[in-house]
A and B are shown apart, each in its own frame.
Chain A
């Protein structure tokens, strides 16, 4: 293009056209086979299990989903509330882990270490089954939310800490040079940028949370897995019931991933 000063060599147009048509075709074929593989695998596993278990048609498509979906609402409620509380805990935890005050830093580090060093299931049991011994009795759903929030709060503390540290040092310096006091620097300059940095990681945590919320079925919270277990047992259809529950979790995470992607795109506006 440079040599011929914009003039196109004769006879090149059809070739360019043909190459791009071939590339489009290849992309389309790839997508078609890709989709076929997914549909095939779903049909194979679903159909195979259906035939092998001899599940009842009405159960698989009507009564099973109706019951299990009743638990989906609780799953969403528990996960959503827990991620909100966990995020708040994580911001406090991260500020604590970065604090120059040894007491605050010590408390925050202890929290992270203790929670990350013990099983989530143990923490759930402890809050629901052990705390009543001290006279602290929480209903199942709040107990589950407390356990999930504390647990994820500890993991997310480290995410936020990394996010805060990833904000360029020059940002803090520029804000300080403008005479902003430390609290304002953190609140207006560092945290908003740290949040953008950690949004993808927080999204992943939320997806993990949706699945880990199944653990609170062990303390009688009537969420997706709990309902599936119950109906599966009473209808003698454990395979179908658990597969329906799996489909519910899977769908929830796919829907959430979609919104997460959009949020990331929106947040990156004006950035870098």
Chain B
């Protein structure tokens, strides 16, 4: 789908065993751990949404998180870059470790640390959240110029490269209102890539799209996965997870029930709850 020369790590080797607990079973393209979630709990008031989540994501790994709505998977993703402040636990992204500190969430030092995490973790939203008052290029160069301090020329060059990656180079001067939903999400992906983050977090990126527009977004995401972009994707697209995931994580009631290679979790789940979820899902 893309015509650019991203580093190609080849078709991912199938992994025979679940999870990556034993290093000997790691597929060759997968590197060191880059995201670590430890003992994560999140309360919204009295509502205990995350009940102790541990998750490790390695470089160049594509992890898909599945589970019914209300299982806490979106909250988990939003906690990773602190769009929600976790109640207990810690998050580490690319060496920056931040402990949950809801009592001092507004302290200057805590906020700066969170910002460091956000610079390393790009986020994609269900509703795209492009800036409507800026054109496509403006959306892509805003943070690189103002936050990273890149020159306009340099930022523009990179934005054009990443717009090419998502196949929208010719839309650089359009305003978001003139784009389809699928195009908006692809611009959002380019905008996130322009910050050259270590990991991309996708929060149900195709849930707000018309069915015929889902494919173009998943296509871009699959290309990114196959070219070695580290990503955590909360999704309901089982077929996509099967194709593009290195690992599938199934969550229910705020905990990880099981995880492992897609063919194992999706085709031969070990837990009753996973089987139940998948059956209900496929019945629809």
Contacts and interface: CB of A to CB of B under 8 A. Distances in A.
A173 B129 contact: yes
Interface string B163-185: 00000000000011110000000
B131 A177 contact: no
B123 A174 contact: yes
Interface string A240-272: 000000000000000000000000000001111
B228 interface: no
Interface in B88-140: 106, 111, 115, 118-119, 121-123, 125, 127, 129-133, 135
Nearest to A196: B133
A170 B132 contact: no
A116 to B, nearest CB: 30
Contact of B147 (A180, A193, A196, A269): A180
B55 interface: no
A173 B146 contact: no
A272 B175 CA distance: 9
B81 interface: yes
A188 B146 contact: yes
Contact of B83 (A100, A176, A184, A196): A176
Interface residues of A, number: 24
Interface residues of B, number: 30
B195 A270 contact: no
A174 B176 CA distance: 14
Given A170-B127, A192-B133, A271-B132, A178 B83 contact: no
B131 A171 contact: yes
A258 to B, nearest CB: 24
21 contacts: A100-B106, A170-B125, A171-B131, A173-B125, A174-B125, A174-B129, A174-B131, A177-B81, A178-B122, A178-B191, A178-B192, A179-B143, A180-B147, A182-B111, A189-B131, A192-B133, A270-B133, A270-B178, A271-B175, A271-B177, A272-B177
Interface of A: 100, 168, 170-171, 173-182, 184, 188-189, 192-193, 196, 269-272
Given A178-B191, A178-B195, A181-B147, 16 more contacts: A170-B127, A174-B125, A175-B131, A175-B143, A177-B121, A178-B122, A179-B118, A179-B119, A180-B146, A189-B131, A193-B131, A270-B132, A270-B177, A270-B178, A271-B132, A272-B177
